[in-house]
Amino acid sequence: MNGLSGVRYFLGFFAAPDGARFFDRVRLSPAGEAWTGEGLRLISGRSEPERYSITGVSRDGGFVLDLAHDGCHERLTLSAETPDVEACFLGSLVRTGDDTALAYVLEEAPAVRLDPSPTHGWGTVAVATVAKGSEMLVIRGPIGDTQTPYSFRTADDRHVEPTGYGHFVNHACEPSCEIVYRPDGRPALRARRALEPGEEITFDYTATEGELAGSFACLCPAERHKV
């Protein structure tokens, strides 16, 4: 568990048939043997997320969740996490009136949650006090040879495209975290210093990413900027 007693934070991801990518910021609280909560769906090109309510139950180590918003209803069915994916639940999302089942990933990273960022839209932040040297987040997602503005480099021509919290880890010229690599080569973020609850998880893109895939205006609080 993380945050308030019993409250769990997640980040969901799915892609529509047209290739559009969606991220769901999910907060669940226990209600007896069930769950209630709320979510925000972050949609590319829209400044305001969609808000929806959530009810559901745990089932076989996963979840069955009902999402309701603006007269629409969706059923999210998720299986127990698998060892190779670790803190992810895998399943499908089906909207009432549409038989198309969309592949869905729900990531839980106990040390972090998604919040608005003062420097760039949304950011991944610490839930509780963190000691220097703590591993904050493993970057999960498909590995390929294409670098994007959101990918993490693991080797020459090898990049992870994050489907979870890693998508929202912002650059900072004086970052709170640094990238380390697990034995399987997957990148993780480790705290460079002690962090307080609500502090943003950031890293220096220029330290590992080589030539950046996209330009951006750095709005971090550092006096001197690297990008």
The number of CA neighbours under 13 Å toward the Cβ of 105 is 20
Query: 3-state class of 156 per DSSP?
Result: coil
For the segment 15-28, the average pLDDT, to the nearest whole number, is 92
pLDDT at 133 over 90: yes
User: Token digits for 55?
Assistant: 């009810």
Range of weakest confidence among 23-37, 78-92, 146-160, 168-182: 78-92
Q: Is the pLDDT of residue 97 over 90?
A: no
Tell me phi and psi for residue 177, to 5 degrees: -135, 165
What's the whole-number mean pLDDT along residues 59-63? 89
How does residue 80 score in pLDDT terms, banded at 50, 70 and 90? confident
User: Which fold does the domain 8-107 belong to in CATH?
Assistant: Lipocalin (2.40.128)
Using DSSP bridges, classify how beta strands 88-95 and 72-78 pair: parallel, antiparallel or unpaired. antiparallel
Query: Residue 44: pLDDT band by 50, 70, 90 thresholds?
Result: confident
**Domain layout of the chain by residue ranges:** 8-107, 112-208
- 93 vs 96: CA distance, rounded Å: 10
- pLDDT value, residue 36: 97
What superfamily would CATH give domain 112-208?
SET domain (2.170.270.10)
* Prediction pTM value: 0.85
At 216 the pLDDT is 60
Q: How far is CA 198 from the centre of its chain?
A: 15
Residue 146 binned pLDDT confidence (cut-offs 50, 70, 90):
confident
pLDDT, greater one: 89 or 218: 89
